[in-house]
Amino acid sequence: MSRAPQLKALVLIAPLLVFLGVFFVWPLVTVISQAISDPAISRVLPRTASAISGWNGQGLPGAEVQAALRADMAANTDEMAMGDVIRRLNASKSGFRSLMGKTVTALKESPDKPLAEIDKRWGDTAYWLAIRENASPYTDAYLLESVDLERGSDGSIQAKPAGSSANGAIILRTLWTGALVTLCCLLIGLPYAMVTASVTGWKRALLLGAVLLPLWTSLLVRTAAWMILLQENGLINQALMGLGLTNAPLALIYNRFGVVLAMTHVLLPFMVLPIYSVLLTVPGNLMGAAASLGAHPVRAFLRVLLPLSLRGVISGMLLVFMSAIGYYITPALIGGATDQMISSVIAFYATGSANWSMAAALGLILLVLTLVLYALYNRLSREPGQMG
């Protein structure tokens, strides 16, 4: 009987546990394992994988490695698994796809034909190096590549050749854009929240409504609306030219300005609402008290209202920044080519080239960045918390 309440409690939280497990833990584990492991080659080409580990990487591997590869290819029956192998090898060395396709077909017809006769590329060390590099089921290649690093032929970590990869630059750009958007949201959102918290009745309802409205329309619609406003013959340019403020249309879209503007609009509620809710808990007469104690309104703001709203400000900044660095649609539609953020690269690897490991590795980097920020937030917000 005494176990009944426990059981009841367990049943009550079961949906939550299941939810956390299915929508949080499981994807996380999948992403991490995808980013650091790819067992395709060790599974489909097991003989090759073990044989090639003895090769020193100079010249061409011995006959036993070539025989192992031939045997593995003959033994394989799972086309889709072979597809994974090919994709992985081709990601390391372009050309592997057609090479393997050709080899598989040729070996079906004459299983004993020497590899070098099937395609002269088998005489190229680079292809064999690619196999050796991918033979282990665990790899840091994807994580390295997502920050523009690679392992050299001697196994040391080195930067990729200039101009061949821009993940690092795009991650930095993502952070920079996120920071810009956060700053803009702060500059608009803080005064906005303060005004909203200081008025009452219909004025407050109106201000809150105005900031909440974007949340009730879809992201795509809002982004499209900005496109209409900002384009070369859009409303803003027409208005500016109509007023004679400019005689040529301003470049408002397909650049960083447009992206930051549209993202600021979309994310503003995430800045205003936390600050507003913190301000609501600040007693209304503190500013009056400060004034009666001799504080000029500006000093009263700096010494009293600003520190008290800091917790909301930090939550707001974090929310905005973390949402911003994951943005995809808005930069894709309103940004120019140099405004794309890391999500678009992830999307390319995931949906475009089915390179899930690369997508997972980049996603992991984004996740780690977010976690670091969150830890920072926890530290920052604990201090005012203790004071309260």
Partner 1 sequence: MTDSFMRFDKVTKDYGSVRVVEDLDLTIARGEFVSLLGPSGSGKTTLLMMLAGFESVTAGAITLDGQRLNDVPTYKRDMGVVFQNYALFPHMTIARNVAFPLEMRGTPKSEIATRVKRALDMVQLGHLSDRMPGQLSGGQQQRVALARSLVFEPRVVLMDEPLGALDKQLREQMQLDIRELHHRLGLTIIFVTHDQDEALTMSDRIAVFNKGQIQQCASPRQVYDHPANRFVAEFIGETNLLAGKVSGVDGGRVALTLPDGSVLQADGAPGFSVGDDALLSLRPERIDLHGPADALTGLNTLRGDVADTIYQGDHLRIVIVTAAGRIIARVPRKAAEWPNGSQVVLSFRPTDGWVIAP
Partner 2 sequence: MIMTRLSKYRAALVAGAAVLALSGTAALARDLTVVSWGGTFQDAQRELFFKPFAEKTGKPVLDEAWEGGYGVLQSKVKAGSPNWDVVQVEAEELALGCADGIYEKLDWSKLGGKEAYIDAGTSDCGAGHIVWSVALTYDGNKLTGDTPKSWADFWDVKKFPGKRGLRKGAKYSLEIALMADGVPANEVYDVLATPEGVDRAFKKLDELRPNLVWWEAGAQPLSLLQTGDVVMSTAYNGRITGLNKTEGTNMKLVWNQSIYAVDSWVILKGAENKDAGMDFIAFANAPENLAKLPEHIAYGLPVKAAAEKVDPKLAPDLPTYADNLAVSIPLNVDFWVDNSEELTQRFNAWVAQ
Q: What residues numbered 77-116 form the site for partner 1, per CB under 8 A?
A: none
Nearer to partner 2 among residue 90 and residue 309 (C-beta): 90
Among 34, 66, 90, 309, binds partner 2 (CB under 8 A): 90
Site string for partner 1, 269-288 (x = CB under 8 A): --------------x-xx-x
Residue 57 interacts with which of partner 1, partner 2, none, CB < 5 to 8 Å by class: none
Q: Is 197 in the site for partner 1 (CB under 8 A)?
A: no
Q: Which two tokens stand for residue 8?
A: 């009841």
Of 38-46, 61-69, 317-325, 346-354: span binding partner 2 (CB under 8 A): 346-354
Of 10-18, 26-34, 88-96, 285-293: span binding partner 2 (CB under 8 A): 88-96
Q: What angle do CA 186, 188, 194 make, to 5 degrees?
A: 90
Three-state SS for 140-192 is CHHHHHHCCEEECCCCCEEECCCCCCCHHHHHHHHHHHHHHHHHHHHHHHHHH
Q: What angle do CA 330, 194, 314 make, to 5 degrees?
A: 60
Distances (CA, A) of 263 to 83, 258, 314, 334: 39, 8, 18, 10
Closest-CA residue to 368 (of 43, 178, 143): 143
Q: Is 385 in the site for partner 2 (CB under 8 A)?
A: no
Q: Is 137 in the site for partner 2 (CB under 8 A)?
A: no
Q: How far apart are CA 106 and CA 114, in angstroms?
A: 10
Q: How far apart are CA 328 and CA 5, in angstroms?
A: 47
Q: How far apart are CA 34 and CA 364, in angstroms?
A: 10
Handedness of CA 115, 75, 139, 52 (dihedral sign): negative
Of 6-14, 22-30, 182-190, 299-307: span binding partner 1 (CB under 8 A): 299-307
Strand partners, 37: 138
Among 299, 368, 371, 372, binds partner 1 (CB under 8 A): 299
Q: What residues numbered 17-46 form the site for partner 2, per CB under 8 A?
A: none
Among 157, 338, 374, 383, binds partner 2 (CB under 8 A): 338
Closest-CA residue to 161 (of 178, 143, 148): 148
Shortest reach from residue 280's CB to partner 1, in Å: 14
Q: Is 2 in the site for partner 2 (CB under 8 A)?
A: no
Q: Is 330 in the site for partner 2 (CB under 8 A)?
A: no
Q: How far apart are CA 91 and CA 41, in angstroms?
A: 13
Binding site for partner 1 (CB under 8 A): 283, 285-286, 288-297, 299-300, 303-304, 307-308, 384, 386-388
Interacting residues with partner 2 (CB under 8 A): 79-80, 82-84, 86-87, 90-91, 94-98, 101, 163-166, 169-170, 173, 231-234, 253-254, 332, 336-338, 340, 345, 348-356
